[in-house]
Chain A
Amino acid sequence: MSVMTATPEMKVVTEASRLVMPRYAKLRFDKTRDRWVILVPERVLVPDETAVEILQLCDGTRTVGEVIDTLAQKYIADRATIAGDVIPMLQELVGKSFLTDLAEESHG
């Protein structure tokens, strides 16, 4: 049996990406402790408000471009500024496997 070389390729987030939380990670509101949590195998993680808002918008139907549009409208902010903030955050969440890209999967 050979050992696979474990170098997960970096998936680059673009405005065309269509992100969604993977099946094993669940965003839930924990009413007992009055906060949002992310449930993953054997762990409970606590996201801050910004992470919750972004994760909720990444529902697998919106593209990243549409997520940026939504946030720019909500915060009445310059779209390019929002994009400059949001794309690195999404990139980080993808890197930590809290989001996966459906657009990438369907294209191969």
Chain B
Amino acid sequence: MDDAFIADPTDTLSVLDGPGAATHVDFGIPAAVLAELTHRCPLQCPYCSNPVELERSSAELTTEEWKKVMSELAEIGVLQFHFSGGEPTVRKDLTELVRHASSVGLYTNLITSAVLLDEARLRELSDAGLDHVQISFQGADAAVANRIAGFRDAHAKKLQVARWVRAAGLPLTVNAVMHRQNLDQLPEIIDMAVELGAARVEVANVQYYGWALKNRAALMPTIEQLDECERVVTEARKRLKGAMEIDFVLPDYYADRPKKCMGGWGRQFFNISPAGKVLPCHAAESITGLEFDSVRGNKSIAWIWQNSDAFQKYRGTGWMPEPCKSCELREVDWGGCRCQAFALTGDAGNTDPACSLSPLHDRIFKLAEKESIGDNRDFIYRNYAASTKRV
């Protein structure tokens, strides 16, 4: 017998091409899909990744529609299903959806703010086959965290629910979105995650589009804060090796190279919006002029992934302008983030200004640097009143 070996194909993990794939398939179906069940949420975090144009509940897919989607995804080779939002627990049918996902063989992950969960509902979800829970935290100190969330007592509730998650035997990930107004709490947030028994913590610096772009002046960290943040993460990773994983995302304003956003447009990720649109990333609807196919139409999800205009538009390198086109790194970062290019330059087909080779990089970097040392602390909270959705 050979030694037992378990490969961790980290970089190729989302695209596992195989003999089962149809002919002329260039891109394997992603291994994991994010479902935004709803845009409704009791929290009002000013950096929310949802689009500024929030979807109303009347537009949401029905229970039966989501079930059909999950069956179809499992059939074409999706392995993991993330229940996200908005706040997915506002959906009264969540347990039924989790049960269905589990019955068709999907690994289920609940990405939640936790404030609407009680112990009975958590047990119900666990019994329905939920595999993993991820809870967002806005800070380590209740006053700071509650102010950021725009929700009274959110922090205490989250701590309580995290303990119930562990008591139910479910694995826990702590998600901490970091910015100027909470970065000084990072060591305490990591301690909190350890104390809660989390197996993973995501230290995710805010990415600035959508709501976060509206609030950039109040959120942008200083360079000194980010240096300290990196130091804290490096130290904690060393100390907690083997006990807790720490994922770390830098804000790309302070990076020299743009991030490989979504692993490259249409390469290894899609999400489904509350109304059933199949999107190359959560923020893609912010790019005006792109049409997105819906699961409500007459096309299969596999067809939409392979062929739809929105996925084809920025896939690969053919769409690239200079300096991307002749750049040696074009197949490393795939041109960075299309949504950010659109938000900051007005054209999603431009080089992401996060790249130091972008002609706009210096101007944007200097503006961000100026904002980071400003004294603006006020948020435009994420809610339907501030949403620009035309109804």
Residues of A within 8 A of B (CB): 1-4, 6-8, 23-24, 26, 28, 30-35, 37-39, 41-48, 50-51, 54, 71, 75, 82, 85-86, 89, 92-93, 96, 98
Contacts and interface: CB of A to CB of B under 8 A. Distances in A.
Contact of B194 (A4, A92, A96, A98): A4
B105 A28 contact: yes
A1 B13 CA distance: 37
B77 interface: yes
Given A30-B16, A41-B173, A50-B5, A1 B195 contact: yes
B364 interface: no
B7 to A, nearest CB: 4
B95 interface: no
Contacts, number: 131
B79 A44 contact: yes
Given A31-B20, A34-B19, A39 B79 contact: yes
B1 A50 contact: yes
Interface residues of B, number: 50
A47 B4 CA distance: 8
Contact of A44 (B4, B20, B31, B239): B31
A2 B19 CA distance: 51
A6 B240 contact: yes
B21 interface: yes
Given A54-B4, A93-B4, A26 B28 contact: no
B124 interface: no
B2 interface: yes
Secondary structure call for the B interface: loop
A54 B6 CA distance: 12
Nearest to B5: A48
A44 B109 contact: no
B5 A32 contact: no
Interface string B321-359: 000000000000000000000000000000000000000
B157 interface: no
A3 B191 CA distance: 5
Interface string B159-191: 000000000011101000000000000001001
Interface string B80-108: 10000000000000000000000001010
A33 B16 contact: yes
Given A41-B132, A43-B8, A30 B80 contact: no
Given A31-B20, A32-B77, A34-B19, A85 B1 contact: yes
Interface string B223-252: 000000000000000011111100000000
Given A41-B171, A41-B199, A47-B6, A1 B191 contact: yes
26 contacts: A1-B195, A3-B194, A6-B194, A6-B244, A23-B131, A23-B170, A24-B131, A24-B132, A24-B171, A30-B77, A31-B20, A32-B21, A33-B18, A33-B28, A34-B19, A39-B79, A41-B173, A41-B200, A42-B109, A43-B10, A46-B16, A48-B6, A50-B2, A71-B1, A93-B4, A98-B6
9 tightest Cβ-Cβ pairs between the two chains A and B: A32-B77, A33-B18, A6-B243, A51-B4, A39-B107, A24-B171, A32-B20, A41-B132, A48-B5
